[in-house]
Amino acid sequence: MSGNKQGGLTTHVLDTMHGTPAEGMEIHFYEIDNGERLPIKIVKTNADGRVDAPLMQGDEFRFGTFELEFHVGDYYRAKGIELPKPAFIDVVPLRFGTYDHSHYHVPLLVSPYSYSTYRGS
């Protein structure tokens, strides 16, 4: 995997059930190497539904396969939402690749029963 000083990786989460940013959602960030998930960091979203700093930037940015694991069920339980047992959507893993010198933004739009994502800017 080659390094790169110009790319970056960010994320944010929007709670479509409430129409608000998803404050306080835990996100686990992994690198995928030969099929193995290697933990990089665990972060939580702020009041804007974003993490306080890019997940990768500058010298730490690299090309490869990564996974963001969004802990959706815990987020809704903490908000007092009663979810079925087991929850329909509990943890959302998003696996993606970084392959060029651009910025990667991986947003998640989520409710207890649906989610979507896209490559943002």
54: Cβ contacts below 8 Å, ≥ 6 apart: 8, 9, 10
Handedness of CA 49, 105, 94, 117 (dihedral sign): positive
How much is the mean pLDDT over the chain?
94
**pLDDT at res. 118:** 97
| Whether pLDDT at 87 is above 60 | yes
**Tokens for 74?**
């815990």
Tell me the mean pLDDT in the region 31-40: 97
Walk me through the domains of the chain, giving residue ranges and CATH numbers.
Answer: 8-109 (2.60.40.180)
| Whether pLDDT at 1 is above 90 | no
pLDDT 10s digits, 104-114: 999 999 999 99
